Structure 1
């Protein structure tokens, strides 16, 4: 009888702790910040970004900041208009020269706005 109570107590403790952990754990959330976009744009301008990394950040909507979502949509439009996905494997830039210039302007504007807000 003592062995039965010991096993029952241990099982109750394990199951109870698993339920408690599951009830307190939240779904992980990814929150895109200006620094994430600036780092991505820098990597894209240096031709060091992969298409999957680009799509992972640019394809995820930014719901907490309308301005950042506008920058994200603008970058997605740049990829649609000036993207050269097939040349990434050859080490060539993600965007053509016009797209690179527009992305640099977008990056500079975002950096200036971020610096202004941090002051």
Structure 2
């Protein structure tokens, strides 16, 4: 009788664990436009390091097609203008291109308010 009770309780515990794992969701990283703007401004001001840049442009923005297009343009700028310097991560031309992207992003943010 105790063996049968042990088997039933073990099965129930196992089933509960499997059920809980099936219903857990993986954490999602979702960057919003204002977060991207803040990161971009930090890079332009020379206040961001390489890791912050990687976090900024390293994750696809599938939830926001305009932001994803902007992220891809920032990656294209990185290919040509990235220096990885101590203060500024980009050349002056690269910083100017990032400023243009910042202006586009500001327009998108202002557009979503209306």
TM category (shorter chain) comes to 0.7 to 0.9
Q: Deviations over 1:44-75 (max 9, x none)?
A: 12222222331233132222332112111111
Provide the secondary structure at the position in 2 that maps to 1:37. Answer: helix
Quote the residue 2:106 is aligned against.
Answer: 111
Cα deviation digits, residues 59-108 of structure 1 (max 9, x gap):
322223321121111111121221111x23xxx11112222122122112
Deviates more, 1:96-105 or 1:56-65: 56-65
Structure 1 runs of 4+ aligned residues shifted over 3 Å read 3-10
Structure 1, unaligned runs of 5 or more:
none
Which residue of 1 is the match for residue 33 of structure 2? 34
Q: TM-score, normalised by structure 2?
A: 0.80
Cα RMSD (Å): 2.1
Secondary structure at 1:28 match in 2: coil
3-state DSSP of counterpart to 1:35: helix
Report the counterpart of residue 19 of structure 2 in structure 1: 20
Query: 7-16 or 94-103, which moves further after superposition?
Result: 7-16
When structure 1 is superposed on structure 2, of 24-33 and 102-111 the one drifting more is 24-33
For these two proteins, the number of residue pairs brought into alignment is: 114
Unaligned runs of 5+ in 2: none
CA distance in 1, matches of 2:67, 2:94: 19
**C-alpha separation in 2, matches of 1:33 and 1:39:** 10
